[in-house]
Structure formats: C-alpha cells, structure tokens
A and B are shown apart, each in its own frame.
Chain A
Amino acid sequence: MPQSKFAIEAKNLRKSYGKHEVLRGISLKVERGTMLALLGPNGAGKTTTVRILSTLLGFDGGTVSVEGYDVKKQADEVRSVIGLTGQSAAVDEMLTGRENLVMMGRLYHLTAVSAKARAQELLEEFDLVEAANRPAKTYSGGMRRRLDLAVSLIATPPIIFLDEPTTGLDPRSRIAMWEIINKLKQDGATILLTTQYLEEADQLADKIIVIDGGKVIAEGTAKELKGKVGHDRLELTFGSAAAYKKAVDVLGKSVQETNKDDKSVTIILKDTNADVRKVLDILQKNKLRFDSMAVHKPTLDDVFLSITGKTKKGKN
C-alpha cells in the first residue's frame, strides 16, 4: 500500500563504471499522479537513472523506492507496478502487434482472457487495429513506438517510465505520441519521462529536473525554469532596407538584436502572446509589412548556457 505521496523517490543516487562516475548524487521525487521530466543532453545520465529506477541496473550509493518498494530488495514487487518504454523500441519483431501485447500481458501474469481483452483495447486506443495481425518488423517507426508504449501499459501499471519516447520520430508521430502521453497523465498515471527536448518537457511535464554530468543542475516547473533560462524570441525579417530601418525605429528599445545584412530584428518576449500582439500592432500602425516571422523557443542549448555557463557538447 502506498504510504507516501511520492510514487518514486530517489536519494543521492550514485553509479560508476570503473573510474567513470555516471551519476554523482541524483535525488528526485515524483508525486503520485504527476509527470516529471528528466531533461539533459546525451550522456547526462538520464537513461542510467531510468534503468536504476526500473530495477534493470544496480547502483553504488543512495536509495530508491518505487511505490514504497525498495528497488534492490523488492525488485519483483517494483516490476509489477511499473511499465517501461525504452529508447529502442523493445518489441518482438517476428511477432504481430497483437501477439506482442498478449505475450507481455501474460508475462505480467494477467490471465489469458484479460491479456487478450486488454490487447484489443490498446490496439484500438493506439490506432494499431489494422496492423494488429502483421509482424512488428513491418511497422513504421511511429507505429513501433506506439506498440512499444502500448506493451508497457498492458497491465495498466500505475507508474510509467518513458525513456526518450519521441527521439527519432517525425514531427507528426511526435505530436501523436504527446497526445497519448497526455492522456496517460489524465488517467492518473505517475510518469517519469526523459527527454533532450525542452519543448517536450514543457508540453508534458508538471515538473522538470535538468541533469548534466550525472548531477541535478536545476529543477522546477517549466515556467520557473524558463525564467532562469530566458524567454521566447521573435524574429522579424523585412523585404527592404527602408522597412527594416523604420522597424528598428518604431520598435525602439524592445529590439534586442538587429542584423542589417538579413534585414532582421530579434525581440525578447517576456509574455509571448501579449508581446507578439503588441509588436504586430506597432507594425500595423506604421503600415510596415514583414517578409517572415518566427517565434524561437529557448533551446536546450540556452538552458545549459544560462544554468551552467557552457553550451552542451553533442548537439542534436
């Protein structure tokens, strides 16, 4: 029975491979029914953390409990309350989508009747009914991820680990995945998600923990972090030098950067919605037309730049 309001609790987690310290004292708590995003670049220790929390990997120091169970001493109990979706879609390629679901359900020790019924339900929910009886190796990347996620939900575990669920997906599949993940949250699941994309953490998570080099370097809600990280930026490009000049004049001190060669200006947005509207109003009053307009979200690079004062190494 759950005793604490935290479904996942890790304290001072340490893990080394030989002399290489991968995790250097990571602590995190996930409140029941909420979603925590673990944000960080490649090699930050995200996957290692998830593997430890989901009983796949041992660790050298610290404590971890999942639904009140100790991951080291009560691994089987932990496994019966978690679902894991890893980076590489872990489905059996030779089996059909349905067979994958039923098999994994049976391995969660669902009865055959329950496993079959739940498989049908998930196939419908994840838009895989038509492909249900085809081997998984014929699936597209997006379908495979959906199947992989469906498989981890077969026994409706209350806690779900999603390790970079959208890495490598095309934009459309990514948005479909986000919808699915949001629905899981609405259904009351506790979710721990890892991602390299600030936007993804922003869209989905209640709370974000930023890790780098095996350490937590920032945590808070998306809003709080963005305050630290910087704001959205509006970039306007003009068709003529005259228009560009006039725009710089009328927009005044809200312009942060100008680029004469590109005839573009960059404006920092404190409140994205209101500020964009204001800028457009000013342009309209002055009868100025722009060629193109883009709102840039702060990127993971910006996060690292502002929090650690360095840019991340491997850029994606």
Chain B
Amino acid sequence: MPAKVAEEWLNICGGCEVSILDIGDPLLGLLPQLQFVHMPVLMDHKYFGQTGEGTTLEIPQADVGIISGGVRNEKEKHVAEAMRQSCKTLIALGSCACFGGIPALANMWKLEELYEKVYRGSKTTEPAATPNQNLPPLLDSVKAVDEVVKVDAYIPGCPTAPEIIVQALTAVLEGKPFTLPERSVCDDCPVKREKKASGGTLKRPLEDISVKQGEPWENTRCFMEQGYLCLGPVTRAGCATGTEAEGHVKVPRCIKGHMPCRGCFGPIRQGANPLVDMMGALTSIGLDAKEVLDRRALLNRYIGGQNRLRPLPQKPAGGR
C-alpha cells in the first residue's frame, strides 16, 4: 500500500516544490510508493470542504507530511498545526521551513516599521493604510516551522537538493530517522587551502573568482582565501554532489557554480550561531571582519528565524 503524503506550502516562493519535480528519473521509482492526498501546488483540495461547507480546517490523514516555507501569519500557523495533527511524520522542506529562510530577514525590524516602509515609506509607493480586511494577521516575526509545531526531519537548502529529498523520503518511508551529518561545507569542498588569505581586502562575489577550468578542483584556491565571503566554514554539509561525468568528485553546489557558499543549509549544529562563528573563521585566515557589509543580514541570510535575527534593542535614552 502506498504511503499517504500531504504537502503544504506556507511562506515560500515555490522553489522547493520545483525541487521535488527536479528529482527526475528517481521520482518515477518513488511515485508508486506515494499517494498524494493533499498538495495545494498540484491539486485542488480546499481546507473547509470543496464548496466551503466545512467549519474546521481539514487536512486528510497522512503518513508523511511535508511543509515547505516558514510561518508568517495566523493562517499559516493554523495550517501547520493541522498538518501536525494529520500527519504521522512531519518533514520541514527547504531553508524557510527549517530556519525561516530569506523572508526571515524581515525579523530585523518590528512589524510597525515594516508596514510603514511597505505601505507608506517607499518613494515609489502611493501611501495607503495598512490593509486589515479579510487578511490573516501577521505573526510578530517570521518563524521556522519547528517554532510552531514539532518537526521530525529537516531537509534544508534554498532550494533544496533533489538527491536529499529522495534520501529523506526513502528514509522516512522505511521508518528510519533522517539527519544530515554535523560537518561543514568545507569538509566536503575539494579546493586547495593554504590557511591564509591571498591578501588584500574582501571582494564582492560579482568580481571575478579565479577558477582553474578543466583542471582538478585541487588546483583552485579556496574562495575565501581569495577574499570572497564564503559561508562554508559555518554551514552544514550535504549539498555536495558529483556526477559520473564529473568523475564522482563531490563539490558543494555553489562552489561548482563558481560562487561562494551562501549558507542556505543553516548552522552546522543546532544552537550554533554562524554570525559569531564566522568572525573567527574570517580573522583566522587574516581577513578583516569589519569589511563585511551588512554583517548581520549577510551571515543570517537564510536563518533569521528561531530568534537569530530580531530587532536590535532600543538604546535607552540615558543610564539609570
């Protein structure tokens, strides 16, 4: 009997659903084992009965629940709670569900400040009142799913890697736990490291990164040592892949695309704070952490939930 799967998207762009499709051929092997009973992105299944006759939010019983996206408003909180009740195992899919994701950058400001900026403060916007009719109220911050309900397995990534979805789904279907190893992206990265920056100041990722094309990765210098801010040292491993054509050399995805790691897999272990850890990583190879523009946001780009980003405390007017 196929396992029943309920999938729900909350505060999200939809990229992680595309990642499910991106599984490609292995998806055909998985499909006979899966029966989708609820999936707003694919099927028309309403929360309050098909004609709106229901009075309570209903999600069909399922063996596996997948939630992508963080929790931004009361409706999403409600849906997440209903998913938890209906599903035996709950998987958080993507960085938004795991850590709050890009939308959680908004946690750096208070709600009133956001409303002010979006509806009145921006030059290109005609000032208007904050809409409050027929809309679910926003929560005070963008939350990761596990701040609202218990989550059994995490699949981070922005968007997440199809291979990991397959691994996680297979593990869950077999009743095994799924966790990524507590290693850093650097542990999976094959580039050459000399433990010292090549000198100069921090560069922006749009400037040319020197990559020895067509040669083994061992001949390319570590991007961070070249002076680009790479979040590899403080980011969890798991995205590295190596196809047959590439000689099975595992390379983290962004590195393979000649870009430094952006940290979408989140902190290496629970409770770690990449913002603090990155300071050490930068200074230990001789780069100046002062030069990182917009440090708080950049080093918390995908992980602003779970209280990592919050409005800075107001300075008291005077001491007491």
Query: Is chain B a partner of chain A in the same complex?
Result: no
- Chain B residues packing against A (C-beta within 8 Å): none
- Chain A residues packing against B (C-beta within 8 Å): none
